[in-house]
Copies of this chain bind each other. A is one copy, B any other.
Amino acid sequence: MDFQLLTPALVAEFEAIVGTAHVLTAQHTEADVYADYGRDHTEDLQFTPDVVVRPGNAEEISRIVRLCHEHRIPITARGAGTGLSGGALPVHQGVVLSTERLNRILEIDERNLQATVEPGVVNEAFQNAVKEVGLFYPPDPASKGSCSLGGNLAHSSGGPKAVKYGTTKDYVLNLQVVLPTGELIWTAANTLKNSTGYNLTQLMIGSEGTLGIITKVVFRLLPYPKQNILMLVPFRQEAQAAEAVSAVFRAGIIPSGMEFMEREAIVWSSDYLKIPLTLPEDIRAHLLIELDGQDLDQLYKEAEAVYGVLEGYDIGEILLADTAAQKDDLWKIRRNIGNSVRYNSVYKEEDTVVPRAELPTLLRGVKEIGSRYGFTSVCYGHAGDGNLHVNIIRGDLDDEMWNVGLRQPITEIFELCVKLGGTISGEHGIGLVQKGYIGIALPDTNLELMRGIKRVFDPHGIMNPGKIF
């Protein structure tokens, strides 16, 4: 695509639309603040946009995008910047459009168990707001305290509860979107069922800001599950932990969380958080299993069934969390593995996903590839979904190995995923850093269809260029 350069005249037009306070340029902005708009949580990548625009509503976004469309200016939408695949990075410079000011919960409709929100709302703020009226929004990425719902939509984010409740995509009824031409549409209707034309809603979700900018979302909600049970199960063999996952489902139990953590993952995170955890030497991995529902007696029955399954494995003493504080600590440890790894070392995170029962094979494969190529990895993730986050630790790898040499082993890991019926990203997206690998998961015919769809939506290719394919 041939892009044009941003002109002072255009910047002035942006200022007229959103107000001068909400148009930032490198010249007139504190360096740290400006730099933040050029990075996310992906490795140590950093880009510099020509301008950052912070509109306040859909109409302003529509006018800005229309200008970018007319003048062929790249525009990259940005939520909270917690992405792990570089999806929000302005690799072609141009405009970074931040949705941070679209942060209102517009309506919680208790009659219909629905809510209408703006994309800049933080996931956890939304969860808490609906919980106050007895409702439940399940998708809960590890970064729920800081990530935005718009970013969740861009990658169809999951989180621990996806195993029972599905991912972001399963809660969206309708989207208001500014198309790359500046036109404003709603994709569907506010209904639980819809068989009226192509599913533009699901096409938009997971498209990583390349087909439009979401400006309002209608979510469906559930009644809040009042009770839960949480247990931490130590295993003496990693592969057995992975195998036990499938066995629990086969026993007819659908946990609301089923998280796998290697020994290193749990050690790093509890150290990082300074939460003491006694961990016998022979424990190699843990499963964190949560059951939820409306009735505690029922959950104890289910917990018994889970115990029955686990008896068949070589496990240590199961820790059943007694108090809310203990539960919080366990979840905190799980949620902060990523942060603790980031704190210790630069790392590359691979968001591998396979059919659930293939997890032991994937884990063995990752470790084998690591030992062959000389890198260590910390592995953890949503075992109930077959979604294993492989964190490749920089440690003392040299620049050559880090920037070039790892491509081959990462390719091998992804090829293994595909061979096992899986793919290369479960919930983080392709963005920038996995783009070079997408051909492993998707043949040219699929990619050509996607490029064709992209051209229909975005004839000038201005929206988040350089991502996915």
Query: What B residues does A441 contact at CB under 8 A?
Result: 189, 196-197
A132 smallest CB distance to B (angstroms)? 15
Task: State the oligomeric state as a number of copies.
Answer: 2
- CB of A377 closer than 8 Å to a CB of B: no
Partner of A354, one of B191, B252, B253: B191
Partner of A427, one of B195, B251, B422, B455: B195
- Knowing A198-B203, A206-B198, A442-B196, the reply to whether A423 touches B252 (Cβ < 8 A) is no
- Knowing A254-B222, A423-B191, the reply to whether A469 touches B355 (Cβ < 8 A) is no
- CB of A310 closer than 8 Å to a CB of B: no
When the two chains form their complex, are residues A193 and B246 in contact, meaning their CB atoms are under 8 A apart?
no
- CB of A413 closer than 8 Å to a CB of B: no
When the two chains form their complex, are residues A195 and B422 in contact, meaning their CB atoms are under 8 A apart?
no
When the two chains form their complex, are residues B295 and A197 in contact, meaning their CB atoms are under 8 A apart?
no
A286 smallest CB distance to B (angstroms)? 21
Query: What B residues does A447 contact at CB under 8 A?
Result: 197
- CB of A294 closer than 8 Å to a CB of B: yes
Q: A interface, by DSSP: helix, strand, loop or mixed?
A: loop
When the two chains form their complex, are residues A427 and B353 in contact, meaning their CB atoms are under 8 A apart?
no
Query: What B residues does A423 contact at CB under 8 A?
Result: 188-189, 191, 194, 196
When the two chains form their complex, are residues B206 and A195 in contact, meaning their CB atoms are under 8 A apart?
yes
- Knowing A357-B112, A426-B191, the reply to whether A446 touches B200 (Cβ < 8 A) is yes
Query: What B residues does A308 contact at CB under 8 A?
Result: none
Smallest CB gap from A194: residue in B = B423
Interface residues of A in 357-386 (CB under 8 A from B): 357-358, 382, 385-386
Measured in the bound complex, the distance between the Cα atoms of B355 and A190 in whole Å is 6
Interface string of A150-171 (1 = CB under 8 A from B): 0000011110001100110110
- CB of A445 closer than 8 Å to a CB of B: yes
A219 smallest CB distance to B (angstroms)? 12
Measured in the bound complex, the distance between the Cα atoms of B179 and A450 in whole Å is 13
Query: What B residues does A145 contact at CB under 8 A?
Result: none
- CB of A418 closer than 8 Å to a CB of B: yes
When the two chains form their complex, are residues B193 and A158 in contact, meaning their CB atoms are under 8 A apart?
yes
- CB of A187 closer than 8 Å to a CB of B: yes
Query: What B residues does A301 contact at CB under 8 A?
Result: 295
When the two chains form their complex, are residues A453 and B192 in contact, meaning their CB atoms are under 8 A apart?
no
- CB of A392 closer than 8 Å to a CB of B: no
- CB of A250 closer than 8 Å to a CB of B: yes
Query: What B residues does A166 contact at CB under 8 A?
Result: 170
Q: What are 14 inter-chain pairs, A to B, with CB distance below 8 A?
A: A112-B246, A112-B355, A113-B250, A114-B355, A188-B423, A189-B418, A189-B421, A191-B386, A195-B426, A197-B438, A197-B469, A198-B450, A198-B453, A295-B301
Nearest 6 CB-CB pairs, A to B? Answer: A452-B456, A202-B202, A189-B423, A111-B357, A223-B252, A193-B426
